[in-house]
Copies of this chain bind each other. A is one copy, B any other.
Amino acid sequence: MSEQLTPRAENYSQWYQDLVIKADLAENSAVRGCMVIKPYGYAIWERMQQDLDRRFKETGHSNAYFPLFIPKSFFSKEASHVEGFAKECAVVTHYRLKNDPDGKGVIVDETAKLEEELIVRPTSETIIWNTYRGWIQSYRDLPILINQWANVVRWEMRTRLFLRTTEFLWQEGHTAHATQEEAIAEANQMLEVYASFAEDILAIPVLKGRKSANERFAGALDTLCIEALMQDGKALQAGTSHFLGQNFAKAFDVKFTSKEGKQDFVWATSWGVSTRLMGALIMSHSDDSGLVLPPRLAPIQVVIVPIYKGDEQLELLTQFIQPIITKLKAKGISVKFDNRDTHKPGWKFAEYELKGVPVRIAIGPRDMENGTVEVARRDTKEKSVYQVTDLDLKVEHLLSQIQDNIYKKAQTFREENTYRADSWEEFNKILDDKGGFIYAHWDGTPETEEKIKEMSKATIRCIPLGNKLEAGKCILTGNPSIQRVVFARAY
């Protein structure tokens, strides 16, 4: 068939690109670095959004919306934010087009130049904290627990669908607190929300940890993260949660009066995940036949393909299958009955494999006579014949099994690709041979971290939460180290 993907073993990066395109998830657009998220890809993203949104609301957050544009001067206010943040941003300088006097089409009206340029938001801390100043006077106004679903723009030179695009979709939480303890607890809580979402819904095991100073978000005092391991042995940062201290409150002069009547700056957090999660999802579970979706995330959980000749047979099969569909739907299972006569069953099988539908049920006239169906699971590709009695219960159970199996498989892969390296040679050998997470000693200095990155292209992914302290020697400098940290090459 024409939809064949480049095998992973041949070219992982091409496999990824093929899969995203051929499974109808996304494509490149006419605008450099910006993607079109196609309906099937967007349906998966929507399910991620819904589940996350529910978790945010359950932990007391509300959604709100702040402007797309940020005045340029705002970026100068928080020194470490402007210093550390990438300056590749889309800049709006004019606000009008006009008809080209020399011919057809439109040109920029040079007389409509903005006094101050506007930046398309790369992240919204600055505009949000400028707004919070008007909302916060007293401890009674705190905490503020807000999330925003939005598009953001970072002008990337080398882009890859979902993983690194100029425009991407994300959510950004921005909270304001009366005390440092409360803000730290919030940052921790949101990391846990992300971790359980990744593990329970996406079936991706994640390492929870803390970034080294070098890898912190610009303006943060502490950056927590969840790190996932992709099938090619590279790491992917799947979500971050920042404790921002009072940095943004100071930059935007946001003070409050405490219960005791004292004035103090407000404490802040921010946290986000993005359409990058789509990349993590694809690279965690999929295979050479296409996408593998965990059932809890799949827009279509079960597809039913009738195998028939002529309208009469289809009619009989439909009558037979309809009560089963009704029962499946009553269990909250999303079912697609693909009775299109424009495509053959074999084509449909390949198509739903490509799209990662967890369970495929095929039924032909002989099955009907026997009161059976053929059930194929996407994750293992096993096929079984099921009696239709209680098929809804069996399928429900199977979906749950698949969810578990996908998670366990990814977990086993991670375990098998997690190493300890005790020398620089060993470290590099692992990186070059297999990749994976490498626990290694580091002397704790930014300089050494930088050198390791330059020499090996591996970065410190995180210092795991609750990391065991253990005396050792830095793999590069041999200087004393108090703990192993997790290195990997990363997306």
B37 close to A65 (CB less than 8 A): yes
B106 close to A87 (CB less than 8 A): yes
CB distance from A240 to the nearest CB of B (A): 22
A63 close to B42 (CB less than 8 A): yes
- Contact pick for A108, options B42, B63, B68, B72, CB 8 Å: B72
Task: Chain B residues near A35: list those with CB within 8 A.
Answer: 67
Interface 0/1 of A111-140, CB less than 8 Å to B: 000000111100000010011001000001
Task: Chain B residues near A104: list those with CB within 8 A.
Answer: 76, 79
A155–B112 Cα gap in the complex (Å)? 11
Given known A87-B109, A106-B87, contact A43–B62 (CB-CB < 8 A): yes
Number of copies: 2
- Contact pick for A68, options B34, B82, B98, CB 8 Å: B34
- Contact pick for A96, options B42, B64, B89, B134, CB 8 Å: B89
B108 close to A117 (CB less than 8 A): yes
B63 close to A46 (CB less than 8 A): yes
Q: Does A29 contact B (CB under 8 A)?
A: yes
B127 close to A29 (CB less than 8 A): yes
CB distance from A273 to the nearest CB of B (A): 16
Q: Does A330 contact B (CB under 8 A)?
A: no
A: number of interface residues (CB 8 Å): 67
B105 close to A67 (CB less than 8 A): no
B90 close to A69 (CB less than 8 A): yes
Q: Does A91 contact B (CB under 8 A)?
A: yes
Q: Does A38 contact B (CB under 8 A)?
A: yes
Given known A39-B63, A62-B39, A93-B93, contact A75–B105 (CB-CB < 8 A): yes
Task: Chain B residues near A74: list those with CB within 8 A.
Answer: 30
A276–B196 Cα gap in the complex (Å)? 37
A96–B71 Cα gap in the complex (Å)? 14
Chain B residue nearest to A100 (CB atoms) is B76
Task: Chain B residues near A1: list those with CB within 8 A.
Answer: none
Chain B residue nearest to A97 (CB atoms) is B87
- Contact pick for A82, options B72, B106, B151, B155, CB 8 Å: B106
A96 close to B155 (CB less than 8 A): yes
Chain B residue nearest to A41 (CB atoms) is B64
- Contact pick for A76, options B94, B105, B117, CB 8 Å: B105
Q: Does A146 contact B (CB under 8 A)?
A: yes
A-B contact pairs, 12 of them (CB 8 A): A27-B131, A27-B134, A30-B74, A39-B62, A39-B64, A72-B97, A72-B106, A87-B96, A87-B109, A89-B96, A89-B97, A92-B93
Residues of A within 8 A of B (CB): 27, 29-31, 34-39, 42-43, 46, 62-76, 79, 82, 87-100, 104-109, 117-120, 127, 130-131, 134, 140, 146, 150-151, 153, 155, 167, 169, 342
Please give 12 more A-B residue pairs, beta carbons under 8 A apart, in addition to A36-B66, A72-B108, A92-B92: A30-B67, A30-B71, A34-B67, A42-B62, A73-B105, A75-B105, A76-B105, A87-B97, A89-B95, A90-B95, A93-B93, A93-B108
